[in-house]
């Protein structure tokens, strides 16, 4: 019996040592956390309208302007009446396009109430004082469902006048491979909602023109890097199998035919396996699930060791996730930060100085900055 215990302990040590090469919980980065605001509801997204002013969405259907200098919070009016704040739905992302200084348009995603069911919608409006004006629903997706989950809703922009929006499978797995609806896809539009003529499926009567990629489960992080021209996503798997993907035009990312996750109620894997011809492989898989939310590729100088790293929040495992990429965009290291906060990190954004602002599901806005003391 003693020999058996020694062997089992040895195997455990080997397993742990191997694991250290892949996932690190480290405090070697010298930083400090400041609480900027509290009582912000469920702050799903943030956007800078100036260096000192954030717009913050609350999933329950509220929009707040936050003065980072004084901490003053101001309610913004003018949101539509048909935001369906139920389950995972509600007022979701807020984002500014690269030409915001000229156009003044602010973009939103939300779950639109259509006879008690929700569908992911992309809208835009302008801010006049503390009121939104000229609200336009520029894209109402064909993703309606009686299930109030997997809306996705992240927005990002390229530098060629396009906006991307992620849409989850709405809790109906076959949706992600059914290209007659938008569920389980990433869509690409012009800023005014028109379909670009070079979208991959334009002219195919069997596929919706707006679709850029498909086979996604619930991609709650979406990021376009204008320097590299790469579009990144991070999405929830089922029980295990969260993924980081490098999104390419017209590609199929496999859900639910291939997956690295398992069924919730059984020990069986989801789908046919982890690989299939014609379906893309993720850059990074998280097993067990971290439940990722939001994604950026760090660009600043405040944390020079992080430049080019992919940063995301983790809702389930409650940390800030940092993934290091090599020159071929392969994930070579994962580092978990801020675990001591024990907070569901929902969204993150970088300011012009390279400082990070994080939102948490307990209603806080936090600032992460170097500790130079």
Question: Which of the residues are catalytic?
Answer: 150
> What is the DSSP secondary-structure string of 251-298?
-B--TTTB-S-B-SSSSPBSSSBS--TTSPPPSEEESS---EEEEEE-
- 157's CB contacts (< 8 A; 6+ apart) are 95, 97, 98, 163, 164, 191, 224
Contact 182, 142 (CB under 8 A): yes
Nearest alpha carbon to residue 113 among 88, 151, 81, 154: 81
> What is the DSSP secondary-structure string of 125-148?
EEEETTEEEEEEEEEE-S--BSS-
- 238's CB contacts (< 8 A; 6+ apart) are 217, 259, 261, 262, 263, 264, 270, 289
Q: Could you tell me the strand order of the sheet in which 162-167 lies?
A: 155-157, 162-167, 185-190, 211-214
Alpha-carbon torsion, ordered 120, 155, 42, 126, to 10 deg: -90
Helix (H) or strand (E) holding 5: helix 2-20
Q: Which two tokens stand for residue 68?
A: 């980072």
Length of the chain: 373
Neighbours of 295 (CB within 10 A): 26
- 367's CB contacts (< 8 A; 6+ apart) are 33, 34, 36, 68, 355, 356, 357, 358
> What is the DSSP secondary-structure string of 227-255?
TTTEEEEEE--SBS-EEEEEE-TT-B--T
Cis peptide before 320 (omega within 30 of 0): no
């Amino acid at each position: 019996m003693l020999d058996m215990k020694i062997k089992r302990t040895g195997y455990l040590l080997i397993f742990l040592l191997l694991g250290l090469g892949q996932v690190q919980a480290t405090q070697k980065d010298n930083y400090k956390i400041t609480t900027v605001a509290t009582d912000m509801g469920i702050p799903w997204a943030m956007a800078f309208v100036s260096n000192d002013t954030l717009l913050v969405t609350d999933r329950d259907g509220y929009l707040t302007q936050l003065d980072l200098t004084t901490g003053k919070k101001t309610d913004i009016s003018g949101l539509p009446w048909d935001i369906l704040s139920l389950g995972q739905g509600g007022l979701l992302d807020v984002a500014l396009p690269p030409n915001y200084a000229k156009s003044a348009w602010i973009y939103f995603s939300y779950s639109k109430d259509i006879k008690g069911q929700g569908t992911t919608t992309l809208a835009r409006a302008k801010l006049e004082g503390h009121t939104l004006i000229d609200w336009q629903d520029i894209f109402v997706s064909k993703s309606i469902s009686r299930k109030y989950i997997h809306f996705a809703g992240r927005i990002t922009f390229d530098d060629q006048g396009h906006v991307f929006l992620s849409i989850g499978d709405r809790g109906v797995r076959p949706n992600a491979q059914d290209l007659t609806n938008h569920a389980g896809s990433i869509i690409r539009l012009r800023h005014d909602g028109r379909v670009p003529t070079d979208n991959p499926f334009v002219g195919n009567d069997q596929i919706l023109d707006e679709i850029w990629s498909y086979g996604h489960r619930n991609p709650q992080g979406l990021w376009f890097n204008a320097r590299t021209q790469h579009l990144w996503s991070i999405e929830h798997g089922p029980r295990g199998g969260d993924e980081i993907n490098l999104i390419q035009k017209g590609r199929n990312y496999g859900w639910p035919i291939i997956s690295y996750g398992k069924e919730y109620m059984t020990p069986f894997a989801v789908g046919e396996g982890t690989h299939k011809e014609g379906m893309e492989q993720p850059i990074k898989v998280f097993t067990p699930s971290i439940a990722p939310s939001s994604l950026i590729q760090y660009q600043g100088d405040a944390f020079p060791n992080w430049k080019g790293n992919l940063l995301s929040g983790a809702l389930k495992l409650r940390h800030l996730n940092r993934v290091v990429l090599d020159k071929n965009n392969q994930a070579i290291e994962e580092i978990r930060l801020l675990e001591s906060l024990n907070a569901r990190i929902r969204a993150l954004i970088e300011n012009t100085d390279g400082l990070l602002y994080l939102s948490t599901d307990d209603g806080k806005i936090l600032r992460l900055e170097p500790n130079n003391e």
